[in-house]
């Protein structure tokens, strides 16, 4: 047996019809996770906006937080 093939974790139960809606089989080389890239780019954009927002919450209108004037 190919040592790389992960064995199934436990036996599927045959008596029950398992919902299968698979339309096609995509292997390693046919799959290009472009949607993941899109989602991560979106997440990154949200992060940048939130960091900008944090700047307004934290710094604008406030004095220095750590080294204050005595």
Partner 1 sequence: MSTFVDEYPTEARVIRMAFWSSFVALTLGAVFGFIQALHRTNVVRVIDSTDYYTVLTGHGVFMVITFSIFFLVGVFQWAVTSSLERGPVDIRFTWSWYGVMSLGTTLVAIPILAGFTDATDMSADVLFTFYAPLQAHPLFYIGLVLFVIGTWLAGADWFLTWWTWKDDHPDERIPLPTFMVLTTMIMWYISTIGVAISILAFLLPWSLGLVDSVNPLLTRTLFWYFGHPVVYFWLMPAYLLWYNVLPKLSGGRLFSDPLARVVFILFILLSTPVGIHHQYLDPGIAEGFKFIVMTNTMFLLLPSFLTAFTVVASIEHGARQRGGEGYFGWLGALPWRDPSFTGMALAGLVFSFGGFTGIVNAGMSLNYLVHNTFWVPGHIHTQVGTAVALTFMAGAYWLVPQVTGNQLASRSVGLFQVVLWFVGIVFMTNAMYRGGLIGIPRRTAEPQYQGFEYEPLVGSIAELDAQVALGGTLLFLSAILFLWNMLLTAFNSGSEPVVDGSLPPALSGPEDSPRILDNLKLWTALALVLILLAYSMPLAGIVQDGGLFGPNVDAFPVFVDAVSTAVDATVRRLPLESIRGLIT
Would you tell me which residues interact with partner 1 (CB under 8 A)?
Answer: 2-16, 18-19, 21-28, 31, 33-36, 38-40, 43, 46-47, 50, 54, 57-58, 65-66
Say which residues have a Cβ less than 8 Å from residue 65's Cβ, sequence separation at least 6: 58
Question: Which residue lies nearer to partner 1 by CB, 24 or 69?
Answer: 24
| Distance in Å, CB of 69 to partner 1, minimum | 16
Question: Which residue lies nearer to partner 1 by CB, 35 or 69?
Answer: 35
Q: Are 12 and 18 in contact (CB under 8 A)?
A: yes
Residue 21 CA to residue 53 CA, distance in Å, equals 43
């Amino acid at each position: 047996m190919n040592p790389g093939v992960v064995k199934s974790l436990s036996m599927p139960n045959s008596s029950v019809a398992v919902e299968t809606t698979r339309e096609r089989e995509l292997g390693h080389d046919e799959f290009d996770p472009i949607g993941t890239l899109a989602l991560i780019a979106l997440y990154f954009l949200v992060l940048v906006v939130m960091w900008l927002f944090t700047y307004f919450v934290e710094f604008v209108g406030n004095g220095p937080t750590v080294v204050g004037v005595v």
